[in-house]
Amino acid sequence: MPLKEEIWNKISAFFSSEHQVEAQNCIAYLCHPPETASPEEIKSKFECLRMLAFPAYADNIQYSRGGADQYCILSENSQEILSIVFNTEGYTVEGGGKSVTYTRVTESEQASSASGSKDAVNYELIWSEWVKEAPAKEAANREEAVQRMRDCLKNNKTELRLKILGLTTIPAYIPEQITTLILDNNELKSLPENLQGNIKTLYANSNQLTSIPATLPDTIQEMELSINRITELPERLPSALQSLDLFHNKISCLPENLPEELRYLSVYDNSIRTLPAHLPSGITHLNVQSNSLTALPETLPPGLKTLEAGENALTSLPASLPPELQVLDVSKNQITVLPETLPPTITTLDVSRNALTNLPENFPAALQIMQASRNNLVRLPESLPHFRGEGPQPTRIIVEYNPFSERTIQNMQRLMSSVDYQGPRVLFAMGDFSIVRVTRPLHQAVQGWLTNLEEEDVNQWRAFETEVNAAAFSMFLDRLSDTQNTRHPDFKEQVSAWLMRLAEDSALRETAFIIAMGATISCEDRVTLAYHQMQEATLVHDAERGAFDSHLAELIMAGREIFRLEQIESLAREKVKRLFFIDEVEVFLGFQNQLRESLSLTTMTQDMRFYNVSGITESDLDEAEIRIKIAENRDFHKWFALWGPWHKVLERIAPEEWREMMAKRAECIETDEYQSRVNAELEALGIAGDPDAERMAGMRIMEEINQTLFTEIMENILLKKEVR
């Protein structure tokens, strides 16, 4: 599998649907950086990924680690899956179990010419003609391409990168030692019929190709032609081809005789209606997602390990699936029933968004996660509580947004919450799935709360309807009016006052609109939880914008509330791990709701709908209150010193002290103190020279430096302001 796809499969959940294309482009760049890539350019891609990711995953994307030019991406379970490390000569890319070191090519080196080489005479004639034929706007970039080919000749390089040059054609003759040809992000409409060379890897993604020559070199083993306009494939493809990626083209059918050496085939997002009856027997990964398939071949390759066939029109699966299958994704189809016996090797099964009414009684022995959300399930197999997967963790069965009755959920909760239960962890969502709701214009939803709006105010909210996620916020407001909290008169006053603030504060409004995304996908308790998140964000926003600059005691109380909410979230996550058949929303909201008074949580509401199925006991609440107060007495001082909103306050109320502290921090990093502490720690542990250990030690030392400096300035300023 290409490295970029391997990495993307592990982190795609970090990004919302609207950011996935941009994030994929960043990953593709980082997996194959250009020869002239600088640490600054690499850092910008990591910064972009971090900005696009959900906040919960931002720390999984790290750059300038330990104060050096080191960059990495961590998986959901904090395993390093991609790293780039720069040194004076070049950089090393590590991922997918492989490590590739590149020597950096500077701009001046790229511009140097090898036109005098005795071996380049014939090439020079061909290339000079190619440059002469260039349209005016393309001539300079063709010259650049020729310079790169000359450089390959001169230095016997095996990789030729002609990315992002706006090329409409390429010369048929390229240096014969080239084994990797990268043509991504050009304007190629075709590839040469007589392309020469010993190419093993060909990348021509994001062009305007409409077809593939039948005469491509048989030496090609890996070919990526994604995001083009290819409508059909030739009957003959390179005989050595092992990996073929044709994502996002316009292909309607595949040739009957694909190369027998093929191991990886992706035709994701095309228009294919049927697959060949006999696919190459050696294929281990087949991706046919987002096509128009109504059926899969009855006989699939026997060694197939990954089958991705989501977003088609499948109504059933073959009776017999490959015996070594590990990943099966048939989500977003029309499947009504699954085979009663699935291959025991399956670890990941996604059958979400189908028309299933039942799940099979027999789960694959190796199953680790099953996604069956948004079907028509009303019951789960009786065998499920007794299933013991072979994996190190309990199997996760996700059945959110199915029409289970509340009684069924309560019965499942009682069964699965017993102390000695060792079966799968089952996740579901509460809610009424029969109601189809219409999204009203935003100004109408606001008028449901602010009944006496002037015409000028109505027009103001009408103008906000063009803002991103305005529709989601409108639906959120309508659903909020159906929650249990509307029974309290002061709740409507609170929401009304908050809406008037949103009308005058575009930044706060943008934050609220973002949180509203997904807030209405299930029960009303998810709506209430989203409202809590909005009120918490409002409190942080006020602190950052200066509302407490003259009232530091109130700022500290606001900080305490945020600290307590973070502690509640941590405890709720612990509880969720011990519960089964429980909607996580009920656990998170349950702790917030029940600890509202004892912890003085001003941003929390009084009521929720489904607390009785949250699985939270009185002893849970007593223990949580004690643990939070102990943590606050022990850790709040250090936490507040590092709290971002407090730093913004410091910059405003004590600018000189802030600048002095930041200068001292920079001095610690830039002098020998930082590196000396890192080296001393590694030597004490006997692991000097270990890059991973050095990275971790560097992060730890940096945290200690930050804690010391930020605590010192906090104590000095609060003492000066006479605030305890």
Yes or no: is domain 654-720 CATH 1.20.58.90?
yes
Q: Which of 20-34, 54-68, 365-379, 609-623 has the lowest mean pLDDT?
A: 54-68
Instruction: Quote the CA–CA distance of 294 and 114 in Å, as a whole number.
Output: 56
**Coil, strand or helix: which one is 38?**
coil
Structure tokens at 370: 């099953």
Structure tokens at 49: 């990924």
Is the pLDDT assigned to residue 165 strictly greater than 90? yes
The pLDDT of residue 68 is 60
Closest CA to 371 of 387, 349, 390: 349
The single residue of 26, 72, 152, 523 carrying the catalytic annotation is: 523
Which carries the bigger pLDDT value, residue 29 or residue 410?
29
Instruction: Quote the CA–CA distance of 448 and 312 in Å, as a whole number.
Output: 41
The pLDDT of residue 226 is 95
Q: Which CATH number fits domain 442-635: 1.20.58.360, 3.30.565.10, 3.40.50.2300, 2.102.10.10?
A: 1.20.58.360
Instruction: Quote the CA–CA distance of 219 and 205 in Å, as a whole number.
Output: 19
Segment 356-397, tens digit of pLDDT: 988 998 999 999 999 999 998 877 887 888 888 888 888 999
Segment 695-712, tens digit of pLDDT: 888 888 888 889 999 999
- Is 26 catalytic? The answer is no
Is the pLDDT assigned to residue 77 strictly greater than 80? yes
Q: Looking at domain 105-272, which CATH architecture does it have?
A: Alpha-Beta Horseshoe (3.80)
Q: State the average pLDDT for the chain.
A: 87
Is the pLDDT assigned to residue 286 strictly greater than 50? yes
Structure tokens at 311: 């977003």
180-182 vs 80-86, strand pairing mode: unpaired
Q: What is the arithmetic mean of pLDDT over 584-594?
A: 89
Instruction: Quote the CA–CA distance of 262 and 282 in Å, as a whole number.
Output: 6
Q: What is the arithmetic mean of pLDDT over 101-114?
A: 51
Is the pLDDT assigned to residue 434 strictly greater than 70? no
Instruction: Quote the CA–CA distance of 120 and 175 in Å, as a whole number.
Output: 9
Which carries the bigger pLDDT value, residue 50 or residue 567?
567
Answer yes or no: same fold for 442-635 and 654-720.
Answer: yes
The pLDDT of residue 110 is 42
Is the pLDDT assigned to residue 516 strictly greater than 90? yes
Residue 481 has phi, psi (to 5 degrees) of: -70, -10
Domains of the chain by residue range? 3-104, 105-272, 290-428, 442-635, 654-720
The pLDDT of residue 451 is 82
| CATH fold for domain 290-428 | 3.80.10
Is the pLDDT assigned to residue 599 strictly greater than 80? yes
Residue 14 burial (CB count, 10 A): 23
The pLDDT of residue 695 is 83
Q: Which of 81-95, 168-182, 638-652 has the lowest mean pLDDT?
A: 81-95
| Residue type present at position 702 | M
The Cα-based distances of 554 to 541, 550, 642 in angstroms read 14, 9, 17
Yes or no: is domain 3-104 CATH 3.30.2440.10?
yes
Is the pLDDT assigned to residue 118 strictly greater than 50? no
Q: Which of 503-512, 660-669, 679-688 has the lowest mean pLDDT?
A: 679-688
Is the pLDDT assigned to residue 111 strictly greater than 50? no
CB 377 within 8 A of CB 404: yes
Q: What is the arithmetic mean of pLDDT over 70-79?
A: 86
Close Cβ partners of 366 (under 8 Å, ≥ 6 residues apart)? 326, 344, 345, 346, 347, 389, 390, 391
